[in-house]
């Protein structure tokens, strides 16, 4: 989509126009006749959130009515969702270029609406033979956004869309080696970003038993990718993302439909790489290290079996109880590597880790846990409410440690109980942080949607990137005393 900033006179604009209207007290610039104003008023009395379409042959006027009196985060989220409704109407009307203006609307509300349009307009079209409809161009009234603000947002949205593309790609076209090569290529073009790609031989020299163990059943070699962006001289924030390129479950193979969409099991790695790239694109003054262990999980060759015992990067021994609890094994090696080699101020993990997270909170937020990170977590949770990528905190009480103790090793990678599956997975990961402030984000319910939701179409969402990017912005503002 091409974005342009221009002054727009809504009353005289000659073209398809989207008009945001949020406040009855401001009505001077409404491009409506008397009867149309009466209709709008009556509809707003019934319900503030409305999409009304008026013919301006050969063009259309799309009036997006919304409630500006709600709390700002909720107002902005409703506008993002309204953008999806508008986009579907534009598609039905075969309108591919529109202008955007408004009355009784704030700049941040306009930005949220444009964000919703952008996210809603993405679909995974790479393998379609027919041309798919998309919004080609959007002219935004320049009174609402500055060029530098729009440019920064565009760079963030671009990284979200690329994350979605990676997650949507089948493993036949994006395995661990291919993904690592693509990340290295992107990093080479970004100022201040370095990329280290470790192959199987190097991973073996590091004795990463978790990553090597999960990879044993696959014909494709694993990779361990470390991206670093030095936007400041502070201790780094380490972003660890699960990169299981496809998850069959291993010998504990997933039944039928549970294996569908498992190409998305690398969403954590795609998310963390995208956050780092977005920070570098916009030159945020932060120090980030993204650590991305990558492999697929298959039942072939000398595949990992239940009762196997692995020795992890930090020397911890782990009894394998279930080969479908593989994500935590590869993440554990990466967390321990981050803790030992980077002395981070904070470690954050993102992973499509447990079905239990989906069963607990459905597809409306992120199951989150933390140890020794009260203040960063509080900030992250606050930011989550602002951008509407919300967190639900699960407890990390010491009693849960008993559930992952092994009789034959230091830890077991799963429990035999259906209880507390999300929490015990988080406790397993926290062990490898060795006291470093640690936050875990289980994005299993939000990384990939099997049907359209809000302003996301079918498939990958990029959920979590806006959250973490805003968290980095907030850290910068606090450091400056703003």
- Which residues participate in catalysis according to the annotation? 254, 328
* 149's tokens: 């603000």
């Amino acid at each position: 989509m091409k974005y342009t900033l221009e002054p727009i006179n809504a009353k005289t604009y000659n073209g398809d126009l989207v008009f945001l209207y949020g406040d009855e007290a401001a009505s001077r610039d409404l491009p409506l006749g008397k009867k149309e104003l009466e209709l709008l008023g009556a509809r707003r009395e019934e319900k503030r959130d409305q999409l009304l379409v008026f013919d301006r042959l050969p063009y259309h006027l799309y009036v997006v009515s919304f409630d500006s009196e709600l709390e700002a985060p909720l107002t902005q989220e409703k506008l993002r969702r309204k953008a999806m409704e508008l986009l579907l109407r534009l598609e039905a009307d075969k309108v591919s270029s529109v202008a955007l203006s408004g009355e009784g609307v704030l700049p941040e509300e306009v930005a949220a609406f444009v964000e919703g349009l952008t996210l809603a307009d993405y679909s995974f079209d790479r393998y379609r033979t027919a041309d798919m409809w998309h919004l080609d161009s959007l002219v935004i009234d320049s009174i609402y956004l500055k060029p530098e603000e729009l440019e920064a947002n565009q760079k963030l949205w671009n990284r979200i869309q690329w994350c979605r593309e990676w997650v949507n790609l089948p493993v036949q076209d994006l395995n661990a080696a291919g993904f690592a090569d693509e990340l290295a290529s992107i990093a080479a073009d970004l100022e201040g970003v370095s990329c280290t790609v470790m192959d199987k031989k190097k991973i073996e020299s590091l004795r990463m038993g978790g990553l090597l163990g999960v990879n044993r059943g696959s014909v494709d070699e694993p990779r361990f990718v470390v991206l670093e962006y030095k936007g400041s001289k502070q201790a780094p924030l380490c972003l660890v993302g699960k990169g299981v390129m496809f998850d069959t479950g291993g010998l504990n193979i997933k039944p039928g439909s549970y294996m569908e969409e498992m190409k998305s099991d690398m969403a954590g790695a795609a998310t963390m790489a995208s956050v780092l790239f977005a920070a570098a694109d916009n030159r945020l003054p932060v120090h980030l290290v993204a650590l991305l262990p990558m492999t697929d999980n298959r039942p072939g060759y000398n595949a990992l079996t239940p009762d196997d015992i692995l020795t992890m990067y930090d020397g911890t021994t782990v009894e394998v109880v279930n080969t479908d609890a593989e994500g935590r094994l590869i993440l554990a090696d990466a967390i321990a590597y981050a803790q030992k080699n980077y002395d981070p101020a904070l470690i954050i993990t993102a992973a499509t880790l447990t079905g239990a997270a989906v069963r607990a909170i459905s597809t409306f937020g992120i199951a989150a846990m933390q140890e020794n990170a009260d203040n960063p977590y509080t900030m992250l949770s606050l930011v989550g409410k602002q951008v509407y990528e919300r967190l639900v905190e699960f407890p990390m009480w010491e009693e849960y440690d008993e559930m992952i103790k092994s009789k034959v090793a230091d830890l077991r990678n799963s429990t035999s109980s259906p209880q507390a599956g999300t929490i015990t997975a988080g406790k397993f990961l926290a062990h490898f942080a060795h006291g470093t402030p640690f936050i875990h984000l289980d994005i299993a319910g939000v990384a990939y949607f099997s049907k359209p939701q809000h302003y996301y179409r079918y498939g990958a969402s990029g959920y979590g990137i806006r959250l973490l990017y805003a968290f980095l912005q907030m850290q910068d503002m606090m450091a400056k005393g703003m």
